Structure 1
Amino acid sequence: MSLDLADDVRDAIAGVAASDLLLVALDFDGTLSPLEDEPMDARMLPAARDAVNAVVAAPDTVVAFVSGRSLVDLRVIAEHDDASRVLLAGSHGAEFWIPGEGLQSHGEDEADVALRDAMRSHAEAATAKLDGVWIEPKTFGFGVHTRRATAEAAAEANRLADDIVAAEAPHWRRRTGHNIVEFAFRHEGKDSAIAELRERVGATAVLFAGDDVTDEDALASLGAHDLGVRVGDGPTTAAVRVPDIAALADLLTLLAAERTRVRG
């Protein structure tokens, strides 16, 4: 392994590794996969995939991907099929995929869907002339992607979208991330996703890793027996920080080995 882990970090890993049933919940974009100009091109780095597979194979351990992506898109980029043992929480915890059960959603009504479709159309029309801006359809809303836009175009796109939402759906939730602003009529967050997954699997401890602003909801919700990991820079409440995806893969590989040693 390339990661030189401090003693306190190793102690923290050993602590969660000794729990009766461990939930390892991981953000996807920027945590397991590099951020891509074309979001649907995202795929796990080979080292991250190997590390995830090692954790999945560890005893008394459940792995979940927790993402702001719509579930249908998350399954594509995670190369996730019906035989997978990995649980999925999409749309910030408003929809789930559970092994043996399939899709489970918190639902939507016709009025929400009609408003979602109208707002997407309005956002697309308003930003159509801004180069590098893309409106992403999401199950419960839409996202304004500006990774390929200039700073000026990005600011204008976000202003236009904010104005549309303020005028037509001021009750919608607004989230920011790496070169994206998301709007949704569902208000679940990654904190509620972790709580729901924890209860569903009966986890006695949770390790959650993420790299972005929305991941801080989940990191801040963790308890004394859990472990939060921040990937990359930025303010965080996580107890552990690693510099990049490769370093997280090292940490997860160590966790799988320690989990197997103490629980195998």
Structure 2
Amino acid sequence: MTDLQAAVRALARARHLLVALDFDGVLAPIVPVPSDARPLPESAAAIQELAALPGTSVALLSGRGRADLATVSGLGSPIRLIGSHGSEFDDGAALLDDEQRARLEKLAAELRELVDGEPGVTLEPKPTGVAVHVRNAPPDVGARVLDAVRAGPAAREGIEVTPGKAVLDLSVARMDKGAALELLREQVGADAVLFAGDDVTDETAFARLRPGDVGVKVGPGDTAAEHRVDAPPDITALLQQLVEARRA
């Protein structure tokens, strides 16, 4: 039995378990067009089974906007959908004051002008900000655009910046996955947490895990997580193991 398998068996004995998962690169393979992403069917089935078990809460914690997350995941209640790195909880809206709304309008306009005509660069509007995606851009174009964003809009007062894989997430409201995970833990009264993520944005959540929790990094890269797997199919196997152990 591997260390991760032993950790999952121990986790399954928690009185109330919170399973929180990033979406892209964890439940769903990374794809060139973000709107084409879908969860692996076996993973989707496993988290639905987990969510139906007593004393078990399941949440997707994604950098995507919550509405987008609902569309691509095909999931909903009782599975919690938390979007925009924790800025959007389950009410489906993010509350901004007048100053933040004005800042968001200015940010969106500035980014549209900055990336206009840049091949392969796309903007993803979110309730509290805008994400600049360069995954499909030539490497030199992506590097130049992200440098320009960092030097320009990202440097403005009141703009929170979250770097990811081939993306820069800009927001007018401060939130990260670590803070969102803490809030989720409190809301559901979890005794233990499983969190899995693949991106640098997930490190804030790994850093908030406590003794008895299990953190799983998917793919390469430095991480604070204790465990690592290679790809989304490995998460499928982990979730299926957790279903079986939790039922037992």
What is the Cα deviation at residue 27 of structure 1?
A: 0.4
- Ranges of 4+ aligned residues in structure 1 off by more than 6 Å: none
Mapping for residues 104-253 of structure 1, pairs under 5 Å: 105=94, 107-166=95-154, 169-253=156-240
Whether the aligned pair in 1 keeps the contact of 2:11 and 2:192 (CA below 8 Å) is yes
The yes-or-no answer on 1:85 pairing with 2:82 is no
* Partner Cα separation in structure 1 for residue 174 and residue 49 of structure 2: 33
* Partner Cα separation in structure 2 for residue 234 and residue 154 of structure 1: 20
Residue 55 of structure 1 is matched in structure 2 by: 50
Question: How many residues align structurally?
Answer: 248
Q: Which of 3, 6, 30 is equivalent to 1:11?
A: 6
The yes-or-no answer on 1:103 pairing with 2:101 is no
Whether the aligned pair in 2 keeps the contact of 1:25 and 1:66 (CA below 8 Å) is yes
Residue 36 of structure 1 is matched in structure 2 by: 31
Whether the aligned pair in 2 keeps the contact of 1:65 and 1:88 (CA below 8 Å) is yes
* Partner Cα separation in structure 2 for residue 196 and residue 138 of structure 1: 21
Paired amino acid for 2:108: R
TM-score (norm: length of structure 2):
0.95
- 1:41-80: CA deviation from partner (whole Å, max 9, x where unpaired): 1110112212212322333111000011111111111113
* Partner Cα separation in structure 1 for residue 231 and residue 160 of structure 2: 29
Identity %, equivalent residues: 37
Whether the aligned pair in 1 keeps the contact of 2:192 and 2:212 (CA below 8 Å) is yes
Helix, strand or coil for the counterpart of 1:58?
A: coil
Residue 62 of structure 2 is matched in structure 1 by: 67
Paired amino acid for 1:164: G
* Partner Cα separation in structure 2 for residue 61 and residue 224 of structure 1: 18
Whether the aligned pair in 1 keeps the contact of 2:48 and 2:79 (CA below 8 Å) is no
What is the Cα deviation at residue 34 of structure 1?
A: 1.4
Structure 1 unmatched runs, 5+: none
RMSD between aligned residues: 1.4
What is the Cα deviation at residue 139 of structure 1?
A: 1.2
Which deviates further from its counterpart, 44-53 or 132-141? 44-53
What is the Cα deviation at residue 156 of structure 1?
A: 1.3
* Partner Cα separation in structure 1 for residue 217 and residue 140 of structure 2: 29
Helix, strand or coil for the counterpart of 1:108?
A: coil
Whether the aligned pair in 2 keeps the contact of 1:59 and 1:259 (CA below 8 Å) is no
What is the Cα deviation at residue 28 of structure 1?
A: 0.4
* Partner Cα separation in structure 2 for residue 239 and residue 166 of structure 1: 32
Residue 15 of structure 2 is matched in structure 1 by: 20
Paired amino acid for 2:17: L
Helix, strand or coil for the counterpart of 2:224?
A: coil
What is the Cα deviation at residue 175 of structure 1?
A: 1.1
- 1:89-132: CA deviation from partner (whole Å, max 9, x where unpaired): 111111111xxxx4364x20122112212211211111112100
